[in-house]
Structure 1
């Protein structure tokens, strides 16, 4: 800056620097809405003062859901993974009376969804002990809380998201999946539109979580879609607008 002043200005450049810096600060304060610094009332330039990280998610509509469902089907890795899981859960290993079948399903879900289960055998053994098939078929949502808590090496683990995935892949219409992306979208629209009354902690209670999803579907007039379709839509919104800084969440 000093070299530029020497070349293009008269007078001592060292004295001129202070004046130019002062004008620069005053101009910046004008741009960012600090009118007290220049002694006049000004409107801040809103496109400059927009908060970093602010998000504007498109309003849920029938057309928006349809658009995201088409997008899901166009993403080969997503729908082929789901097709493989459907084959495993519905055709190859539909029941939960054999530890080997349960181990295959737990291991596959853990790998596909990165559910961070480091020892799958205790989880599979836990599921086997509960005789879950009739409850899965009936859509018994209390089953989630029974599956999610597993004691491994004397420590109780809480595999809530995994439990929703395990049940959902047996009965997708009755067991929507909880996931961090879904949670973020539900909280966003709660704060924006007040579509349902719930606390953040409520979403970790599966009965409340499912009720919130039903509220979401009703509030935005999306009843033509089942809960599995709503889940696919919300999950994609979360992944698009609220991405995690680490691996795959679901």
Structure 2
């Protein structure tokens, strides 16, 4: 079998970002979902004073983004009590912390940070950047690589510091011509490609894997029994094809 090649993690820049923006536009389901959310948040129910309207927004956002809100009604009720519309209009970033801190019961509080950033962002995308685990992974990776900003990893859960970190990221990599929404689309897709910890080896279930690159299977290999494991197939280096290599058991898939 041909020698494997590791895929280097690309340096952020306009070319890389534009590639992911173009990819986003080809993802029919994501484009449709974002248009539906924009219609819901900007036109149908732009305000946050009616429990039924807020409940629809919370539930839809939770479904599309898988934000793990297990009781949308409690979240909607919490949002109503905050009277958030004035702060939203002003782009007051303290609102994220207010929405994130939810009393689920008398003795139980939960911090729905990622959801809160998404809820605010879908009202004011130019004021509120979105935090999620993939964005966190990317920002932290390049902090270690290039030290573009001064922060500890846990600080990304502080929305003031998260905002500053994104600004520093844009400044350092000359991405100031792009909106927060465009940066979010790039970081989320990039993180999903290179830092997705949910991808596990089908043989040993280890999450310790690296992304590598082969060519496409050769014509001779394609004539083999279709049950032939990927790690036994010959590849043609003329056409690149990324796969994963388990660092625990060596399996490739």
Q: Which runs of 5+ in 1 are unaligned?
A: 1-46
Equivalent of residue 62 in structure 2, options 90, 110, 113: 110
Q: Tell me, in whole angstroms, the C-alpha distance in 1 between the residues paired with 2:185 and 2:195.
A: 15
Q: Runs in 1 of length 4+ with deviation above 2 angstroms?
A: none
TM-score with structure 2 length normalisation?
0.75
What's 2:134 paired with?
181
Listed one character per residue, the Cα deviations across residues 67-102 of structure 1 (whole Å, up to 9, x for unaligned) are 111110111111111111001100111000111110
> How far did residue 113 of structure 1 move?
1.2
Q: Secondary structure at the match of 1:129?
A: helix
Q: Does 1:150 align with 2:115?
A: no
TM-score with structure 1 length normalisation?
0.75
Q: Does 1:217 align with 2:170?
A: yes
Q: Does 1:121 align with 2:73?
A: yes
Q: Tell me, in whole angstroms, the C-alpha distance in 2 between the residues paired with 1:70 and 1:137.
A: 30
What's 2:250 paired with?
none
> How far did residue 56 of structure 1 move?
2.9
Q: Which runs of 5+ in 2 are unaligned?
A: 200-253
Q: Tell me, in whole angstroms, the C-alpha distance in 2 between the residues paired with 1:67 and 1:114.
A: 25
Q: Tell me, in whole angstroms, the C-alpha distance in 2 between the residues paired with 1:57 and 1:201.
A: 23
Q: Tell me, in whole angstroms, the C-alpha distance in 2 between the residues paired with 1:223 and 1:55.
A: 27
Q: Does 1:82 align with 2:34?
A: yes
Q: Tell me, in whole angstroms, the C-alpha distance in 1 between the residues paired with 2:162 and 2:172.
A: 15
**Contact 1:86 1:169 (8 Å CA) reproduced:** yes
Structure 1 or 2: larger strand share? 2
**Contact 1:55 1:241 (8 Å CA) reproduced:** no
Q: Tell me, in whole angstroms, the C-alpha distance in 2 between the residues paired with 1:165 and 1:83.
A: 15
> How far did residue 170 of structure 1 move?
0.2
Q: Secondary structure at the match of 2:103?
A: strand
Higher Cα Rg, which structure: 1
Q: Tell me, in whole angstroms, the C-alpha distance in 2 between the residues paired with 1:229 and 1:191.
A: 23
